[in-house]
Structure formats: C-alpha cells, structure tokens
Amino acid sequence: MDVTEEVVRNIAELVQLKVDDADIQQLTEGMQNILALADQMQAINTEGVEPVSNPLDASQKLRPDAVTEENQRELFQSIAPATESGLYLVPRVVE
Amino acid sequence: MINRSLSQQLDDLSKGEYSSVELTQTYLDRIENHQSLNAYVSISKDVLEKARQADQLRAAGERKPLLGIPLAHKDIFCEAGVRTTAGSKMLDNFISPYDSTVVSLLRNAGALSLGKTNMDEFAMGSSNESSYFGAVKNPWQVDRVPGGSSGGSAAAVAARLCAAATGTDTGGSIRQPAAFCGITGIKPTYGRVSRWGMIAYASSLDQAGPLATTAEDCALLLSAMAGADEKDSTSSAVQVEDYSKFLSQDLKGKKIGLCVEYMEGLDPEMSRVIEEAIEVLSKLGAEFMDISLPTSPLAIPAYYIIAPAECSANLSRYDGVRFGYRCENPENLEDLYKRSRSESFGQEVKNRIMVGAFALSAGYYDAYYKKAQQIRRLIKNDFLEAFKSVDAILGPTTPGPAFKIGANADEPQAMYLQDIYTISANLAGLPAISLPAGFIEDLPAGIQLIGNYFDEATLLNLGHQFQAQTDWHKKAPELST
C-alpha cells in the first residue's frame, strides 16, 4: 500500500497531530515502513476465521452500577496545566 | 551483598548479615557511581527511611515475603506522589496521583521502591533508544543497547543496581532486554497481573512481570504481583499459585517442543546456545520433540497493526488539558491539542499512532485490523495444537546478541524483526520466560520457553532446574566507574 501525502495529512488530522511540510516525508516513510511489513499478511487466506479481540477470549466483565470511588477532584486537578474554580481551562471555544 | 540474588538477600536480612538500610545504601551508591548507564530516570527520595522502617519491622518479628528488599520499577508504573514519565516528554512533569496495583502489591509484600527505570517512550521500542531521557547503555558493552522497552530495568539488574525490577511486555519488552543483559525475565499469561496504573500501550497485549537474576527470584516476585483486581476488568480470576513451591520438581517426563519454524535459518551461534540448553535439559529428564507453529512468520506483521491500532486509541488521552505537557500560548483548542501532542511525542510514537489510526479507518479496517486479528486467531490455534503434546516450547529469545546503539536507527524494519521470537506469545496471551544461556561475542544470549495458559509454574520450574545446572545467570558485567 502506497501512503500518499493526502492520506498522511488526513490521518494526522484524525489523531490531532500537527504536521508541518517538513515532517510529511518522515511520517510518510514511518507509516510506509510499518505498512510494508503488514502487507505480508495478505499472503494468507483468513476467510471465515474468527478475529481475536481478547487473547483469553474473555468477554467484558460487568459490575453493579454503584459509586465505589471518592471524588478526588482537587488531587487530580493539582496536576493539570491550568484550572480555575474546579474547571479545566482551555482557550476560548465560543466567542 | 550485590552479587546475592533477591532470595539470598532475604535470607541474609533474616539472619542479620546486613540490614535493609545497608543494602539500600549500597545500591544508592552504585546507582550514583554508574549514572552513565542511564538505567534510572529517578530515585525515590524516601527509600532509606522506608528501609529503616523495614529493619524495625523485621526486628519486631514482622515476616513479609519481600520485607526490606529494594526494587526498581519501570517508569511505566504509577506510584502515588512520584513522577511517572513512561519515557516521554509528554509525562515529564506527571506526578501520579495514585498507585498502580503492581506497585502497591509489592509494597504490601514489604518491598521498597529504589527508583524508576528508563524505558522506550510509552514502551514502543526494542532498544531503549526512543526514550526522551536518552538511550540506556548495556552494562556488558556500553556501546550496545540493553534491549527494550524495559531496557532500564534489565540494565539495572545486570549492573547490580538492584536485585530485581518490574517490567512490562507487549511484544517482548521483558524477555528481549533480559536476554540482551544476561538476566531472567518472565512475561506472565495475559491477565495474570493487573494492568491498573500501568501506562497503556496496547491493552490486549500489555502484561507486567519481573526481571531478576534467577527464575527463583522471578517466582517469588510473580507470586506477589499476580492476581485478580477489580480495577482491571481484564485481570484473571484464575487462582494464583505459590510459584516457589514448584521450583524443585524434577523434569523427568516433561515434554518440550522445538518449533521448526524458529530453528530454521537460526544464526549458527544462537543454534549452538540452543543445542547446549537442550543437552542440559535432556540430562535433567526433559524430552524434546519437533512441533510446528506454521503461522508464526506472520506474527510481526499482525503485531505491527494490532499494537499501533490500540496505541492510537490509548494515546488519544494525551490532550494537554488534564495532565501532562501543554504547548505554550495555544491559539485555540485545536492548536492546543495538536501542538501539545506534536511537541511532546517522539517520532516512533507518532509513526505508530498514525499507522494505528490508518488501520482502523474506514476502507482499511478489514484489510489491516480485522486481518491482523484473524491471523492472531491462527497463531493462537497453532499454540493450542502444540500444547496438546508438549508442556513448553523452547527457542531463542532474540535473533542474536545486543546490537550497537544507533545500528538500527535508519532501518526500523530491522528493529521490528528483533521481536520475531517473542511477539507470538503476546498475540496468543501465553506466558514466556527468557533465561541467560550463554555468550555470543562476549555478549549474553537468552533462550525462551513459552508455556501454556496460566502455567507460569512450569516455566519457572524449568528455569530453576536449568539454573541449578548452569551458571550463566551468575555472570555479571565488569563495570568501569
């Protein structure tokens, strides 16, 4: 699979990475290296094979919908880059 | 005391040969003197105080399984109030507000935290060169890599900067550095050890385990680390065994498979190491037979889709808003997200995030992600078939000994191939151990034993019996100061 510059820019947008023109080549090569390896998979027929999502084939455990943790907002916000009155601060979204 | 194994140190502490304070101070001095190895990212501020408390508890008759033993933790395990970086600029300023289950279980067992060890950024790498804090040096030859991603842990144990350390293994990240550094490391069955508080890379592959000089020490540590945890819904409820109890079982009648796909085309020196190991284990009564894992050549291609896919989802949490790195003067929210991520993730992490998102995107999902998960099924089925006739599978841990720092920098595919023998166990979720088994060009070489689900006891038993007949695990590098 050939990775085009357009594909790289589109994926970068999806994963919220800023891509300068200078970075494009490096990222394209990085992706191509991995995808070239991955393309070896096409050599084998997997029709009808059930995909593995959990290596033990375990299903997701459920638990009662009950509060088990204490609120530790101050502790958790103490490591945030910017907070005010218990809220996380980000640049203004709505003018 | 630094050439005593962890189990021997426990014995020494109980006999009063030396105190936990003396042992801890010895390691702190060694760490200080060998900073150039770059094995540690940070040192615990209060470890001597904790050692003092451990000595008092021991004097008062307290008997915990690891009381007073200083350990190092890979800097991927959160420790409350302690900086936890995962080898990334993104978390350079991250003080964890909580403990990982692994850290708290080991502390409850009496162990002390000496400090946090260096690692490939977010555990993505096989050489420790992707760490934001610089490459770790292999203590056997300092121009070589220690392996990765748990390279700091492996180098620290090999250099006797701690008796044992924790690590994590997503595609070989405990076993490959253990092999490169001449020590013992076990990746348990998926779900055997809780992943709570262990910074996530690829959640269906990640598993924590110990690195130490001996299988006996690994058994002791794994017994303390393993178990079901309400905080990790993928942790297993299967009963944890006291792994130390099985170490002395004799190997008569144990059946060990030799994977024909692994043995074909093996480096002649690595073949010699394997042949010698077969001879040792045969004399102990183990029987060998050929087995086949026909899908194993596709393990690397499948891994390099599945792991990036999960990584792209897991690393979406780093947004510069709630914790971690934030860029200067963001113009708007999107700029904040994009620059915070771009300025703090390294190139390998970006490559994997990109590939992962690509493999999960519309139009490519079936050809890449679904295909990889189907190949994973075939790999798992190969193992299930093999374990109908054998108790464990023997092979090399790595294609060869540690390579030079920078040797694979321009050839990422060569780097990815380092994990060719280790990745299958992660894809299938099986336990596997690496044991020091010889030297190639004066560098350690490791053998790997892969076991059946939740049969860590057999791997540790085989490892302990092998180590009773060999002294590779006792070899330590000579360090220049």
Locate the domains of chain A by residue range.
Answer: 5-43
> Could you confirm whether B89 is annotated as catalytic?
no
The SS3 of residue B70 is: strand
Is residue B149 among the annotated active site residues?
yes
Q: Tens of pLDDT along B330-371?
A: 999 999 999 999 999 999 999 999 999 999 998 999 999 999
What is the reported pLDDT for B145?
97
Nearest chain B CA: its distance from A79 CA (Å): 6
* CATH number of the structural domain spanning residue B237: 3.90.1300.10
B475 to chain A nearest CA, in Å? 36
**Taking CA atoms, what residue in A is nearest to B232?**
A61
Of the candidates A3, A63, A79, the beta carbon closest to that of B94 is on A79
Range of the domain at B444: 6-252+433-474
Beta-bridge partners for B115? B43, B72
The pLDDT assigned to B481 comes to 63
- With vertex at residue A34, the alpha carbon angle to CA A31 and CA A36, rounded to the nearest 5 degrees, is 105
User: In this complex, do B358 and A11 lie within 8 Å of one another by their Cβ atoms?
Assistant: yes
* Phi, psi (degrees; rounded to nearest 5) at A18: -80, 125
Least confident range from A50-64, B199-213, B409-423: namely B409-423
Q: What is the largest CA-CA distance in chain A?
A: 58
Domain count across chain B: 1
End-to-end CA distance of chain B: 19
Q: Are B427 and B377 in contact (CB under 8 A)?
A: no
Please give the distance of CA B410 from its chain centroid, rounded to a whole number: 25
Whether A95 shows a pLDDT value over 80: the answer reads: no
For B380-393, how does the pLDDT look when each residue is reduced to its tens digit (9 = 90+)? 999 999 999 999 99
CB of B81 closer than 8 Å to CB of B44:
no
Partners of residue B393 on adjacent β-strands: B257, B450
pLDDT at residue B22 is higher than 80: yes
Task: Please give the Cα distance from B285 to B145 (Å, whole number).
Answer: 36
CB B81 within 8 A of CB B173: no
- Go through chain A and tell me how many residues it has: 95
pLDDT score for A30: 84
Question: Please, which pLDDT band fits residue A94 given cuts at 50, 70 and 90?
Answer: confident
Say yes or no for a CB contact (<8 Å) between B375 and A41.
yes
| Per annotation, catalytic residue among B19, B20, B74, B296 | B74
b (16+ CB within 10 A) / e for B103-120: bbbbbebbbbbbbbbbbb
Global pTM exceeds 0.90? yes
Other C-beta atoms lying within 10 Å of the C-beta of residue B357: 25
Specify if B363 maps to a domain: no
Chain B residues whose CB is inside 8 A of the A79 CB are: 93-95, 97, 323
Contact A37 B322 (CB under 8 A): no
Q: How sure is the predictor about A48, in pLDDT bands with cuts at 50, 70 and 90?
A: very high
Amino acid sitting at position B187? K
10 Å CB burial of residue A53 (0-12, 13-18, 19+) is middle
**In which band, very low, low, confident or very high, does the pLDDT at B408 lie, cut at 50, 70 and 90?**
confident
Q: Is B173 in the active site? A: yes
Residue B279 within any structural domain of the chain? no
Please tell me whether residue B436 adopts helix, strand or coil conformation.
strand
Q: Two tokens at B431?
A: 């336990």
Chain A's closest residue to B230, CA to CA, is A63
DSSP B386: H
Q: What are phi and psi of B187, to 5 degrees?
A: -95, 115
Judged by CB atoms closer than 8 Å, whether chains meet at B190 and A17 is answered as no
Lowest mean pLDDT among A58-72, B244-258, B326-340, B405-419: B405-419
